[in-house]
Amino acid sequence: MTKTWFITGTSTGLGRLLTQRLLERGDRVVATVRKQGALDELLKKHGERLHVITLDVTDTQAIRTVLANAFTRMGRIDIVVSNAGYGLFGASEEVSDEQIDRQIATNLMGSIQLIRAALPHLRAQGGGRIVQVSSEGGQIAYPNFSLYHASKWGIEGFVESVAQEVAPFGIDFLLVEPGPTGTNFAEGLDHAKTMACYEETPAGEVRRGVASGDFAINGDAVKTVDAMVSAADAAKPPLRLALGSTAYASIRQALTERLRVLEAQKAVSLSTDRD
């Protein structure tokens, strides 16, 4: 059955590959880009099944207008994919106020406002699905990515709450959590101005690992996208989907450690209840 998708951040990376794979199987896609011309090759090949719109997800009013027009034009949109985002690379003390504002405005507020704008349309049509592209970084944290993690942990909390609010309307969510994957994510990093005092710290170690290419990238982009599509097609997908061996191992380790610490606190936790 042919489906209609709305996807943000399709110029490069997983967003572009997802758009390409869906078009190849015969689906319809409304794809947003920041710069015109980014999808001209796909547009020429797939014609009327691809609609390309310029959108900056930091512009809330533009999000609302673009989504409203897309639902009107397509008649129905089955799956909305919130994918636009990038990484801010630097220790928390190194990044500038402007860099922080842009990271939160894009990754967190842009995703929140896209979801909020989609809900009335999905509710009016009797349901639908929202796929939020997060990261293993929505459940674990590396040094030197603190603001990126803040945006991903934030959107995961938002989605987990909203999913409960709108389930009665037939709207559900899928949080996709890829580990390091062979895309151009590293090329799109916004780098902070480094401070020498962080060179011999965990932040400096991560910085050197990324620069040298020693930071392991095990995820395959095509397999990652195919797994995303399969999950989005499923009748009842999980709320969270970790993709890649690195994501699975790191999230499992983090959850296991959190549970261990929580269990050790049980007596203290229960002791603070009212008598």
The per-residue pLDDT for 212 is: 80
Tell me, what DSSP letter sits at residue 141? -
Q: What is the arithmetic mean of pLDDT over 58-64?
A: 97
Task: Give the range of the structural domain holding residue 27, as residue numbers without chain letter.
Answer: 4-269
Q: Is there a domain that residue 275 lies in?
A: no
- Tokens linked to 88: 């801010």
Q: Is there a domain that residue 61 lies in?
A: yes
The per-residue pLDDT for 180 is: 77
The total number of structural domains in the chain stands at 1
Assess whether 152 carries a catalytic annotation.
yes
With residue 212 as reference, give the H or E element that holds it. helix 202-212
The model carries a pTM of 0.94
Q: Is there a domain that residue 24 lies in?
A: yes
Of 11, 86, 142, 148, the active-site residue reads: 148
The per-residue pLDDT for 218 is: 81
Model pLDDT for residues 214-257, shown as the tens digit of each residue: 767 788 899 999 999 999 999 999 999 999 999 999 999 999 99
Of 111, 134, 135, 146, the active-site residue reads: 134
CATH number of the CATH domain containing 190: 3.40.50.720
* Residue whose token pair is 């983090």: 254
Distance CA 6, CA 28 (A): 9
Residues ≥6 apart with Cβ < 8 Å to 73: 30, 51
CB 118, CB 130: distance < 8 Å: yes
Q: Is there a domain that residue 11 lies in?
A: yes
Q: Is there a domain that residue 274 lies in?
A: no
Of 82, 86, 111, 152, the active-site residue reads: 152
Residues ≥6 apart with Cβ < 8 Å to 81: 5, 6, 7, 8, 15, 18, 130, 131, 133, 232
Q: What are phi and psi of 254, to 5 degrees?
A: -65, -45
Q: Is there a domain that residue 234 lies in?
A: yes
Assess whether 82 carries a catalytic annotation.
no
The per-residue pLDDT for 188 is: 77
Q: Is there a domain that residue 199 lies in?
A: yes
Q: What are phi and psi of 205, to 5 degrees?
A: -65, -45
Distance CA 243, CA 232 (A): 14
Q: Is there a domain that residue 49 lies in?
A: yes
Distance CA 105, CA 145 (A): 16
Whether 174 shows a pLDDT value over 80: the answer reads yes
The per-residue pLDDT for 56 is: 96
